[in-house]
Amino acid sequence: MKIGVFDSGLGGLVVTKAFITAMPEYDYVYYGDTKHLPYGEKTSGQILSYTIDAIKFLISQNCGLIIIACNTATSIALRYLQQKFIPSFAPDVKVLGVVIPTVEEAIADKAAKVGVLATNATVRSHIYRQELLKLKSDLEIKEVAAPELVPAIENNDFDLAEKFVKQYAKDFDDFDSLILGCTHYPLLKEYFRKVLPTSVRVISQDELMSGKLKDYLNRHVEIDICLSRNFEYKFLVSSLNEHYKKVAQMMFGNIDIEEIKTHV
C-alpha cells in the first residue's frame, strides 16, 4: 500500500516534498485536482463531490493511507469521509486531514490569541475555530479569508502575492500565532515572517506535517507495516499545461507530472 496525498491544486506538493524529505523510503502518490481549482470559491457540495472522486482515485492507485493536504477539502469533507464514506467503501483505508495537527501546533506555546488565514470555504466552515476552542476554550481567535492568494500562487505571480500578504498581515500584528490555513501558503511563509513582528509564530504546514505523519505511523504500527517502501513517487493532476508544469517544478524541482483524464 502507498501513501496518497491529495490537494485541490499544486500547493500540496510543498507538503509532499516535506514527507519525502523526512521519509523517502515510502511510496507516494500525489494527486492535484487542478481542473477544479480553486476549491475555496466552490460550494460545499462541489467540494465534497470533488474530494470523494479524488479519494476514490487514490484508492484505485493502491493508497492505504491518504492525507488530504487541502485545508478546504479537510474542512468540508473529512468528517463525512471518515464517518460515512470510507467505512462502507474501503474500510481498511485511513484518511487524515491537516487541521488537527495544525491547531495543536498553534497553541503549543500557550498562545492566547491565534489568527487563521485561509480560503473563503475554510473560513465559512469555522473548522479552525471549532478545533482550537476544543483544545483551549478561552482562546481569542480571528479568522480572515484571503481569496486572492491561491490564484496568485498558481499563476506564479509572487509580486502580487506579496502585496496581499502585507495587507493581510496587518490583521495579526498583536497575535501569538498565525495559522497559514491553506496548503499553498507555505510558499508565502517567509513574506509573512518578514512583515510580522517576531513575536508572532507563523504556523506553516510544510514544517509540521512530516513530523506529525511520522508520529502517526509510529503509533499505528498496524498501518505502517502495510506500507510499501520502494522509494517510488508518482505525481498526478486532473489538468496539465505548460504553466502548471512550471509551477510544479518551482515547488518541487525537476519532477515528472502526469495528467489523469478520469478519476475512477
Here the cell at position 165 is 500578504
Taking the C-alpha atoms of residue 127 and residue 161, their distance in angstroms, rounded to an integer, is: 25
Smallest CA-to-CA distance from 122 within 34, 182, 51 is with: 182
pLDDT given for residue 262 in this prediction:
60
Q: CA 169 from chain center: how many Å?
A: 20
pLDDT given for residue 64 in this prediction:
97
**pLDDT, tens digit, 9 for 90 and up, residues 1-60:** 999 999 998 889 999 999 999 999 999 999 999 999 888 889 999 999 999 999 999 999
Q: Please give the positions annotated as active site.
A: 70, 182
**pLDDT, tens digit, 9 for 90 and up, residues 187-219:** 999 999 999 999 999 999 999 999 999 999 999
Tell whether the model's pLDDT for residue 263 goes beyond 70: no
Here the cell at position 9 is 491544486
Tell whether the model's pLDDT for residue 169 goes beyond 80: yes
Taking the C-alpha atoms of residue 11 and residue 174, their distance in angstroms, rounded to an integer, is: 28
Burial of residue 147 (CB within 10 Å: 0-12, 13-18, 19+) is middle
Burial of residue 258 (CB within 10 Å: 0-12, 13-18, 19+) is exposed
Question: Measured at the alpha carbon of residue 254, what is the angle toward residues 248 and 259, in degrees to the nearest 5?
Answer: 50
Ordered structural domains, the chain, with CATH: 2-97+208-259 (3.40.50.1860), 100-205 (3.40.50.1860)
**pLDDT, tens digit, 9 for 90 and up, residues 111-149:** 999 999 999 999 999 999 999 999 999 999 999 999 999
pTM score over 0.85: yes
pLDDT given for residue 40 in this prediction:
84
Taking the C-alpha atoms of residue 209 and residue 97, their distance in angstroms, rounded to an integer, is: 10
**pLDDT, tens digit, 9 for 90 and up, residues 62-105:** 999 999 999 999 999 999 999 999 999 999 999 999 999 999 99
pLDDT given for residue 253 in this prediction:
83
pLDDT given for residue 230 in this prediction:
98
**pLDDT, tens digit, 9 for 90 and up, residues 224-258:** 999 999 999 999 999 998 888 888 888 888 899 99
pLDDT given for residue 145 in this prediction:
96
User: Mean pLDDT over all residues of the chain?
Assistant: 94
pLDDT given for residue 61 in this prediction:
97
Tell whether the model's pLDDT for residue 264 goes beyond 80: no
pLDDT given for residue 155 in this prediction:
85
Q: How would residue 222 be classed by pLDDT, with cut points 50, 70 and 90?
A: very high
Cis? peptide before 91, omega within 30° of 0: no
Taking the C-alpha atoms of residue 110 and residue 220, their distance in angstroms, rounded to an integer, is: 28
Cα 75 to Cα 105, 207, 233, distances in angstroms: 17, 20, 27
